[in-house]
With several copies, the nearest count.
Chain A
Amino acid sequence: MIISALKSNNSGDQRSPIHKDTVKNLLDLGIEICFEESIGKGININDKTFEELGLKKYKREDCLKNSDLIITNQALHISELALMKKDSTVLGMVNPFSNKDFIIECSKKSVNLVSMEFIPRITRAQKMDVLSSQANLAGYVAVIEAAKHLSTALPMMMTAAGTLKPAKVFVIGVGVAGLQAIATAKRLGARVEAFDTRDVVEEQVKSLGAKFVKIDLGKTGETDQGYAKELTDEQINKQKELQAKVCQQSDIVITTAQLFGRPAPLLIDNRTIDKMKPGSVIFDMAVETGGNVEGSKVDQIIDRNGIKIIGISNLASQVSDHASLALSNNYNNWITDFFDKESQTINFDFQDEIINNSVLVYAGEIKNERFK
């Protein structure tokens, strides 16, 4: 079997779908790996290094043409599908909710499509969970970026030149990214508070030594996959109001609230922002799925009366090396689990929960209900 790794066609994405520390696993299975030239540029690995490891360098076109499996961090151009072999497979982060055309085209061209975003949240699939692995790094990056844009230092310092107060950081939405943001901000010495609609989170926040802000919204819940349920309008309003008070006293607000497959809830509106202290920073981690903050824009820093509203896409790409390492591991784990050594092919067994969830298109057929 031939696997090819493609560069991101999005120039902002520095990540590579393969990493020098992880290719060995696949090579050991007897798989041939090709890569698009200068794939490692964003992570400071040059083509020679990969070649020395036994990989083959090709042009993008050639990769598409010759491979049985393509791994990629971004969906391909629809046109590129035509180049691919029939019944070959595309595996990667393909952002299915904004690339519905791509999915349909795959089914038409009879290219199998594995969306790593759809890895089910079951214990055994954690090692393939790209959303977690990238959200985790994103949480770290968000804090470093916010710290960079804040006009004070995060930790408390009692010095001869006066006491520098610790920054207050408020994290809204405590999923994987939120937790890592809490941890990083705590590490830097900030006072950290956090809120989430899911009740179980309180213990988790405390397990990192941070404070949980209690806002009683009545019945909230989570799906069986651990994702949050959408709130009613009334609940959202109540949340906004009570959150505003905490925001007012915070120097950094980091929002991470997302709803799987739906636009992110708007949690911080201009009324709240206008109550905040000039110089504060709001970091909207959900900016790509619609944003939790009114007025936040992808890849822009908005200054609203001295308050910076930061929205950065693809945060994990800022620590591209680690992000690539994690991604490539996720991909490798999927491939390894379903690779049939005998036949040297992927074993698409739809009895398996992971396959059933993550394979969107197989043999020309859209498998996932949502996209039918």
Chain B
Amino acid sequence: MSFLENISTELQNLIYIFASILFITGIKMLGKEDTAVKGNFLSALAMFIAVIVTFLGPEITVNPYIILAGIVVGALIGSLIALKVKMTSIPEMVALFNGFGGLATFFIAWSEFNSNADNTFQYVLIMITTYIGGVTFSGSIVAYGKLSEKLRIQKGSFITKLFTTVFYASLIYLLYAIFLTKTLSLPFDFYILLLALTLIGGIGFVLPIGGGDMPVVISLLNSFSGIAAAFAGLLLTNNVLIVAGSLVGASGLILTVIMAKAMNRSIGNILFVGYALSSTKSSSEETGEVKPINVSDAYLILENASSVLIIPGYGMAVAQAQHVVRELGELLEANGTEVKYGIHPVAGRMPGHMNVLLAEANVPYDVLVEPDDVNPMMDTVDVAVVIGANDVVNPSATEEPGSPIYGMPIIEVHNARTVFVLKRSMSSGFAGVQNPLFFKENTRMLFGDAKDSIGGLVSEFKE
């Protein structure tokens, strides 16, 4: 049954090719600052074309009104959410939408299972599509919950462990479903069980991962939903689904890797460490959690700061980052931010070490301030950027009488609204003591060589 006059399959396929090209071009353009908006538009156009052509094609069997109704409902809900949502909660929205996309594929696979699971190849496809779609859905929903802080389940809690176990069970069951159910007959509806396990397993997949890693996970889930769509395309022998789906699958994967790198994490680390370490975590929990940040997020925060305090230390000297640091300072000022440099008397390894380097880089003297002058107004500082300094910003010098550095006046960056600490690892400074600053609520660690990190920020500003 067809709604309007049919167009031929050939024509449909030709137009699919065209839409695919648009998708490719769109996603390529999305990757560049100045063409991104246009790229998004092109990809939306491609989607529009693909949908229209399909709708006019000969394969439609469902009542077109049902379809239209679905589209209208979906469009309304989607648009409303997209336009109403606060800018700050965009990441969780993406997670939500992504979950719905996964859910759609889940239903597609289900439907296909019901209608034509005859040949082995298709059967396998259906199992996989179901699984990926389902995991994407429930995983995304959990990610949404975590990001919007509606879901407050501890990483190490019992519930988490339970769900994680179901996740592994669901994986095993999937394998079983693929290889065995065709030959063995079962006393119950194995597929319904797969559906259920999948949905629950997805929860277990994301639950043990920390909130800070959610962006990476969302990107991964996004890649999954692309792969699911591609498999659905194979199932339905639909070109445009295959192309668009696998494009998203692949580019999402790359993006995931890039994002993880920017956060100085490996994907394996993100996905599995939470689970594996959940038992041993409790002790380190006390000192708090280290929250890494990547360059682009740091940039976004700096970009919106109205006062920034830069605290250079020995690490800046080692990285010979003084020139880029000055450049960053200048760019911030050009951006309307007030920039000061907090120079601790013993930063570096010789008296006046920072002065030598900053003078070399032409940082004017009048933006250099001493701890005594800056500490009282620290709470007006939006972002304190600690560049390779450690001991001189270590709060235990004031708080922990036992510490070897106790008694040294420090630059009290922990009182700033946000603190970025740029260093290469969690290792300690000259005095060899751990720094509680790194675990504070308002601290973000930007790992990497200081020159590279600052260089990254500078490029961001210049783009």
Contact = CB atoms under 8 A, between A and B. Distances in A.
Q: Do chains A and B touch in the complex (CB under 8 A)?
A: yes
A156 B352 contact: yes
Nearest to A182: B350
A179 B408 contact: no
A202 to B, nearest CB: 11
Contact of A123 (B355, B360, B362, B431): B431
Residue from B318, B349, B391 having most chain A Cβ neighbours under 10 A: B349
Given A160-B345, A179-B349, A208 B317 contact: yes
Contacts of B407: 123-124
A207 interface: yes
Interface string B348-390: 1111111111011010010010100000000000000000000
B346 interface: yes
A195 B345 CA distance: 25
Interface in B387-418: 391, 397, 404-408
A124 B356 contact: no
B320 interface: yes
Interface stretch (A161-169, A242-250, A359-367): A161-169
Contacts of A132: 351
B317 A161 contact: no
A156 B365 contact: yes
A155 B356 contact: yes
Which of A133, A166, A183 is most buried by chain B, counting CB atoms within 10 A of its CB? A183
Interface string A127-140: 10000110010000
B447 interface: no
A189 B317 contact: no
Contacts of B368: 156, 158
B351 A161 contact: yes
Interface string A206-223: 111100000000000000
B144 interface: no
Contact of B351 (A122, A159, A207, A208): A159
A124 B318 contact: no
B314 interface: yes
A123 B314 contact: no
Contacts of A176: 350-351
Contact of B408 (A126, A183, A204): A126
B314 A157 contact: no
A203 interface: yes
B349 A204 contact: yes
A107 interface: no
Contact of A203 (B318, B352, B355, B360): B318
Given A123-B397, A123-B431, A124-B405, A160 B359 contact: no
Contacts of B343: 158
A157 B408 contact: no
A166 B318 contact: no
Q: Which of B345, B357, B404 has the most CB of A within 10 A?
A: B345
A163 B345 contact: yes
A166 B357 CA distance: 14
Interface string B105-130: 00000000000000000000000000
A155 B352 contact: yes
Nearest to B407: A124
A158 B345 contact: yes
A122 B397 CA distance: 12
A57 interface: no
A180 interface: yes
A41 interface: no
A287 B255 CA distance: 63
A238 interface: no
Contacts of B360: 187, 209
* Most chain A Cβ neighbours within 10 Å, of B350, B353, B404, B405: B350
A19 interface: no
A187 B408 contact: no
Nearest to A184: B356
Contacts of B317: 207-208
A250 to B, nearest CB: 15
Contacts of B406: 124
Contacts of A308: none
A176 B346 CA distance: 12
Given A156-B359, A158-B368, A207-B317, A123 B349 contact: no
B359 A157 contact: no
Nearest to A140: B352
Contact of B349 (A122, A189, A207, A209): A207
A293 B359 CA distance: 31
A191 interface: yes
B351 A133 contact: yes
B176 to A, nearest CB: 57
A179 B346 CA distance: 14
Given A123-B431, A191-B365, A207-B318, A136 B408 contact: no
B355 A207 contact: no
A279 to B, nearest CB: 20
Given A187-B360, A207-B317, A209-B320, A124 B352 contact: no
A257 B46 CA distance: 67
B302 to A, nearest CB: 24
Contact of A180 (B318, B345, B350, B408): B350
A159 B352 contact: yes
A20 B407 CA distance: 26
B405 A123 contact: yes
Contacts of B318: 203, 206-207
A180 B352 contact: yes
B352 A123 contact: no
Contacts of A157: 351-352, 355
Contacts of B359: 155-156, 187, 189
Interface string B309-328: 00000100110100000000
Contacts of B356: 155, 183, 186-187, 189, 208
Nearest to B347: A158
Contacts of A158: 343-345, 351-352, 354-355, 368, 370
Contact of A163 (B370, B405, B431): B370
A155 B406 CA distance: 30
21 contacts: A123-B346, A123-B405, A123-B407, A124-B405, A133-B351, A155-B355, A155-B356, A155-B359, A156-B352, A157-B352, A158-B344, A158-B345, A158-B354, A160-B346, A179-B349, A183-B352, A183-B356, A187-B360, A189-B359, A204-B350, A207-B348
Given A157-B351, A158-B352, 4 more contacts: A155-B359, A159-B345, A160-B351, A207-B317
Interface of A: 122-124, 126-127, 132-133, 136, 155-164, 166, 176, 179-180, 183, 186-187, 189, 191, 203-204, 206-209
Interface of B: 314, 317-318, 320, 343-346, 348-357, 359-360, 362, 365, 368, 370, 391, 397, 404-408, 431
What 8 pairs across the A-B complex have the smallest Cβ distances? A157-B352, A124-B407, A159-B351, A207-B317, A179-B350, A123-B405, A136-B351, A160-B345
